[in-house]
Amino acid sequence: MKVLMFGWEFPPHITGGLGTASYGLTKGLLKHDVEMIFVVPKAFGDEDQRAARIVNASDIPVNYKQKHIQDFWNKLTYLEIGSNIRPYIDPEDFAKIHEDVKHSIKEKEHLILGEKYTFSGKYGKNLMEEVARYAMVGASIAAQNDFDIIHAHDWLTYMAGIAAKEVSGKPLVVHMHATEYDRAGEDRINTEVFGIEQKGMKEADRVITVSNLTRDIVIKHYGIDPAKIQTIHNAIEPVDKDNLQLNRSVKEKVVTFLGRLTFQKGPEYFVEAAKLILERDDNVRFVMAGNGDMFEELIKRVAKLRIATKFHFTGFLKGAEVDKMFQLSDVFVMPSVSEPFGLVPLEAMRSNVPVVISKQSGVAEVLTNALKVDFWDVEGIADAIYGLLHYNSLSEMFIKNGVEEVDNLKWEHAAKQVKAAYESVLLNNIELDK
Amino acid sequence: MQSVCLYFQVHQPYRLKKYRFFNLGNDHYYYDDYLNKSIMERVAAKSYIPMNNLLLELIQKHGKAFKVSFSISGSALDQFQEYTPQVLASFKQLAQTGNVEFLAETYAHSLSGMKSKEEFVRQIKMHQEKIKELFGVSPQTFRNTELIYSDEIGETIAEMGFKTMLTEGAKHVLGWKSPNFVYTNAINPRLKVLLRNFQFSDDIAFRFSNQNWNEWPLTTDKFSDWLGQLNPKEQVANLYMDYETFGEHQWTETGIFEFMRNLPEKILKKPNLCFKTPSEVSKEYQPIAAIHVPNAISWADEERDLTAWLGNEIQDEAFDKLYAIEVAMRNCQDPSLQKDWLKLQASDHFYYMCTKWFSDGAVHQYFTPYGSPYEAFINFMNVLSDFYIRLEREGKSRQESDIESLQSPQEDVFNMLGKFTNVKLKKMVKDLSLGELSALFFESDQAIRDKMMKIIGKKELNKIQEYRETSNALSSKEIESYKEDLRKKIARLP
């Protein structure tokens, strides 16, 4: 079985859980003898090439004269994205976006006529244009390669998936890692993104959601037929156990938040919970690791609550810094407002850190050794943290059982389910052909 | 003649309210009144009242031929008094028929038997007094929380003067032996041990409405036939179950009440069967052997052990922390602390912390007010932390008063009472339990005995005499503890 997979990010260049997940799944599928062509918008050159044959989209010449591609291009509506919805944005991109806006319309015609395309590899202001161009490349790859099934991760690649399906006639599986409802919240939905998500799922032969939480959203808000939606929970890559032991520099207990400082992640609830705890217990420090559009607002709030001597911002952490942060932590908190899955708590547990997670997270569906609280229940979050800091048997139990629990959440297992999903889709198609 | 012995457990705990750590030191009220009241009212309406009425009806119909027994925990009795007095009234009516035996248990439905003999005995005595006060009879038979039993617990119970104790007919204890005989405690053969027949009991309690069961539907004909076919040598079929089985676990719609309405008649039609209470069973039959139970058993889950309440890290920490203050509680004179101490000991709090059924959570989810065992633990520990704070404060203020009293050395309690006027002594005596009265009467001196003869009625004196005869001789330690009780009561006199 051979899969044409459209991913977006690939280690080591990842800005969020999406890249980690598609990489883990790819490795898991290879263990089950699934071949694949993994397509990313831009290869940085140092990807782990063992996992997949990486086709650099920039290296694919587009023969725009091919009829079906032009057909697809004709069917594609060019959409321009609103300004304040930017998933996984870096501060450095922020300024660039405004520059890009000026050029994007003019460039469009020019780009269609070109032979090769360079993709930025990161999301930007001209995101919709990139999505469209990526779709054309997708169709081109589909025409030149042999495969059995197409798999597209998140809305950014759905157009490519649809184009590939049209060109090849092969079935399409779309993988919902997040919905616009998670990213933006119900009141700030970007209708264009919503439209692409919906179209992708409607065109797909199978929709994989990363949690039942996401599955419910997809049924309720996107009106997708429940019969073709299947939940396959994410997993986590195993790591080498011999982590370095750090000397702790502070005598206080450390409670950590790690994630983008955006609406979706609920960082403000962490700040409020910190205040409640510090009122009673001086022997704690709070660390907020990450960056995002709420950064300034959060700093102001921390200052206003007068807890700044015990509340620390680290900015964006990556790789070894994340591991180091976990080693210094006594409790990890993920108060996400809407988290389709949520990989970070698993990373924390793997590093022997007990976790408090919001009930509004997909990972809450698979974890038993975690405290689960509603994200808005600041008192509940505070109480859970306090319990873990003060009642030793609880944290000991979580550490002991948590590592084992996480070790059992293997990509290999998730990939097996994904492969079974491919098989059932292919079987359906054969039966339909008869 | 073979017996059918029906015994029902009635228990409701005081469930804790959501108690956050910021309540520590400020908020000393721990209970979810609304939840406790509404559960009590619901179960009363669905189960206790209709089933009590049905039992009254059956007793009227069959007279002395139909008998049942109950153990009602202290916390259930307290909540009847608080929330549903009509239930208590109807139990009193049942008591008046004389066909109902009330058993003793630990007042708090606690696991104290696993930790402290002293606390265990104290609570059993409290419960005995409560039963006596409400139903006018002194329990002669004991059953521990969730039928928990071991050789050692049985020995303590025998020491206290009980003749009979109930427990589970656990397979791993019985082996090839049948639960349908009377056994004795392995250490003290004077205590008879009755074993629950889990097959028959669970046919009613668990399988009655299970349509996948190959014997479904269970009819009274079928069930009485099974009972009628006991091996002729066997003595008794012990059917022990939660009272909430009727109407709450098995809904009215399953036909459980109709089943119970017709069952006695069908059983009594069998020439070899009759109904007996546990005490009667124990008197009637010769025990066939001692039963050896070195490790505690219970009637819970497949394992029939204590792992539903104790054994995981959080249960063990909570349990140890709870009993770490036991000694301090013995000296504590604050009645509100004493009341809370009992309520916190309910086994249910530990049951909520059990993690072993993550796989088949649904069955147990029904019984817990918490989202997870961890929430149950945190909540309990928050409450217990506040309790610690209060106890410490109480201890400090007591120490201060102790220092005062040290300056004037303590007088012997019996001496103090000897100097009391008759009026004052009468006031004092009114407040005492039968045990305390008997200790005072027989362990003090002639002067006090003379006084007591004057102020206590003959009937009451007979009872004191009777109590003395039926209980074991007091050790000097026990006399000291009675004296301590008396001292406290004197201190509380105006």
Mutate to test the interface with A, among B16, B17, B314 (most CBs of A within 10 A): B314
Q: Calculate how close chain A gets to B210, using CA atoms only, in Å.
A: 29
In the predicted structure, residue B492 carries a pLDDT above the cut 90: no
Instruction: Report how far residue A225's alpha carbon sits from residue A201's, in angstroms, rounded to the nearest whole number.
Output: 9
Instruction: Report how far residue A7's alpha carbon sits from residue A153's, in angstroms, rounded to the nearest whole number.
Output: 5
Closest CA to B285 of B227, B226, B237: B237
Q: What region, left, alpha or beta, does residue A33 occupy, with left being phi > 0 and alpha being psi -120 to 50 degrees? A: left
Q: Touching check for B377 and chain A: CB below 8 Å?
A: yes
Is B326 noted as a catalytic residue in this protein? no
pLDDT digits over B238-278, tens only? 999 999 999 999 999 999 999 999 999 999 999 999 999 99
Minimal Cβ distance to B312: which of A379, A383, A397:
A397
Whole-structure pTM value: 0.78
A67: exposed, middle or buried (Cβ count in 10 Å: 0-12, 13-18, 19+): exposed
Give the rounded distance of the alpha carbon of B178 from its chain centre. 26
Instruction: Report how far residue A187's alpha carbon sits from residue B76's, in angstroms, rounded to the nearest whole number.
Output: 50
Instruction: Give the per-residue pLDDT at B359.
Output: 56
* CA distance from start to end of chain B: 58
Closest CA to B267 of B213, B229, B234, B231: B229
pLDDT digits over B19-38, tens only? 999 899 889 999 999 999 99
> Cβ–Cβ contacts within 10 Å for residue B12, how many?
25
CB spacing of B381 vs A383 below 8 angstroms: no
3-state secondary structure chain A: CEEEEECCCECCECCCHHHHHHHHHHHHHHHCCCEEEEEECCCCCCCCCCCCEEEEHHHCCCCCCCHHHHHHHHHCCCCCCCCCCCCCCCHHHHHHHHHHHHHHHHHHHHHHHCCCCCCCCCCCCCHHHHHHHHHHHHHHHHHHCCCCEEEEECHHHHHHHHHHHHHHCCCEEEEECCCHHHHHCHHHCCHHHHHHHHHHHHHCCEEEECCHHHHHHHHHHHCCCHHHEEECCCCECCCCCCCCCCCCCCCCEEEEEECCCCHHHCHHHHHHHHHHHHHHCCCEEEEEECCCCCHHHHHHHHHHCCCCCCEEEEECCCCHHHHHHHHHCCEEEECCCCECCCCHHHHHHHCCCCEEEECCEHHHHCCCCCEEECCCCHHHHHHHHHHHHHCHHHHHHHHHHHHHHHHCCEHHHHHHHHHHHHHHHHHHHHHHHC
In the predicted structure, residue B493 carries a pLDDT above the cut 90: no
Instruction: Report how far residue A292's alpha carbon sits from residue A263's, in angstroms, rounded to the nearest whole number.
Output: 9
As a whole number, mean pLDDT of residues B484-493 equals 77
pLDDT bucket at A41, cuts 50 / 70 / 90:
low
As a whole number, mean pLDDT of residues B170-187 equals 95
Instruction: Give the per-residue pLDDT at A54.
Output: 54
As a whole number, mean pLDDT of residues A399-408 equals 91
Percent of chain B residues topping a pLDDT of 70:
96
CB spacing of B381 vs A386 below 8 angstroms: no
CA dist list (Å): A171 to A4, A71, A199, B221: 10, 19, 15, 61
pLDDT bucket at A68, cuts 50 / 70 / 90:
very low
Instruction: Give the per-residue pLDDT at B491.
Output: 75
Percent of chain A residues topping a pLDDT of 70:
75
Which of 1.10.10.10, 3.20.20.70, 3.90.226.10, 3.40.50.2000 is the CATH number of A253-407?
A: 3.40.50.2000
Extract the tokens encoding A189: 């939905």
Minimal Cβ distance to B381: which of A276, A279, A387:
A387
As a whole number, mean pLDDT of residues B336-345 equals 97
As a whole number, mean pLDDT of residues B203-221 equals 94
- The domain ranges of chain A are 2-235+411-433, 253-407
Which is catalytic among the residues B105, B146, B168, B248?
A: B146
As a whole number, mean pLDDT of residues A185-201 equals 89
Instruction: Give the per-residue pLDDT at A124.
Output: 41
In the predicted structure, residue B172 carries a pLDDT above the cut 90: yes
The correct answer on CATH 3.40.50.2000 for the domain covering A2-235+411-433 is yes
User: Domain B2-291 carries which CATH code?
Assistant: 3.20.110.20
Percent of chain B residues topping a pLDDT of 90:
73
pLDDT higher at A94 or B134? B134
Instruction: Report how far residue B119's alpha carbon sits from residue B340's, in angstroms, rounded to the nearest whole number.
Output: 15
In the predicted structure, residue A69 carries a pLDDT above the cut 50: no
CB spacing of B358 vs A384 below 8 angstroms: no
State which H helix or E strand residue B45 sits in: none
Closest CA to B194 of B255, B231, B131, B142: B142
B317 chain-A contacts, CB cut-off 8 A = 391-394
Q: Touching check for B376 and chain A: CB below 8 Å?
A: no
Which residues lie across from B239 on neighbouring strands? B6
Q: Calculate how close chain B gets to A342, using CA atoms only, in Å.
A: 20
* CA distance from start to end of chain A: 21
Instruction: Give the per-residue pLDDT at B319.
Output: 97
Instruction: Give the per-residue pLDDT at B256.
Output: 96
CB spacing of A371 vs B316 below 8 angstroms: no
As a whole number, mean pLDDT of residues B422-433 equals 79
Q: If DSSP codes are grouped into helix, strand and coil, which group holds residue A122?
A: coil
ipTM above 0.90, yes or no: no
pLDDT digits over A19-39, tens only? 778 878 887 888 888 887 877
CB spacing of B314 vs A383 below 8 angstroms: no
Instruction: Report how far residue B117's alpha carbon sits from residue B447's, in angstroms, rounded to the nearest whole number.
Output: 34
pLDDT bucket at A117, cuts 50 / 70 / 90:
very low
A394 chain-B contacts, CB cut-off 8 A = 313-314, 317, 374, 377-378
In the predicted structure, residue A106 carries a pLDDT above the cut 50: no
Q: Touching check for B225 and chain A: CB below 8 Å?
A: no
CB spacing of B381 vs A391 below 8 angstroms: yes
Q: How confident is the prediction for chain A on average, in pLDDT?
A: 80
CB spacing of A280 vs B24 below 8 angstroms: yes
Range with the poorest average pLDDT among A117-126, A132-141, B175-184, B447-456: A117-126
Q: How confident is the prediction for chain B on average, in pLDDT?
A: 91
In the predicted structure, residue B306 carries a pLDDT above the cut 80: yes
Instruction: Give the per-residue pLDDT at B478.
Output: 78
Q: Touching check for A397 and chain B: CB below 8 Å?
A: yes
In the predicted structure, residue B159 carries a pLDDT above the cut 90: yes
Extract the tokens encoding B427: 């006031």
pLDDT bucket at A80, cuts 50 / 70 / 90:
very low
Q: Touching check for B22 and chain A: CB below 8 Å?
A: yes
What part of A 279-298 touches B (C-beta under 8 Å)? 279-280
Number of helical H runs and strand E runs in chain A = 15, 13
Gyration radius of chain B over CA positions? 24
Instruction: Give the per-residue pLDDT at B35.
Output: 95
CB spacing of A394 vs B377 below 8 angstroms: yes
Do domains A2-235+411-433 and A253-407 share one topology? The answer is: yes
Which range scores top for mean pLDDT: A15-24, A378-387, B480-489? A378-387
| DSSP-assigned states of every residue in A147-181 | -SEEEEESGGGHHHHHHHHHHH---EEEEES--HH
pLDDT bucket at A67, cuts 50 / 70 / 90:
very low
Q: Touching check for B365 and chain A: CB below 8 Å?
A: no
- Residue A222's Cβ-side half-sphere holds a number of Cα atoms within 13 Å equal to 31
pLDDT bucket at A246, cuts 50 / 70 / 90:
low
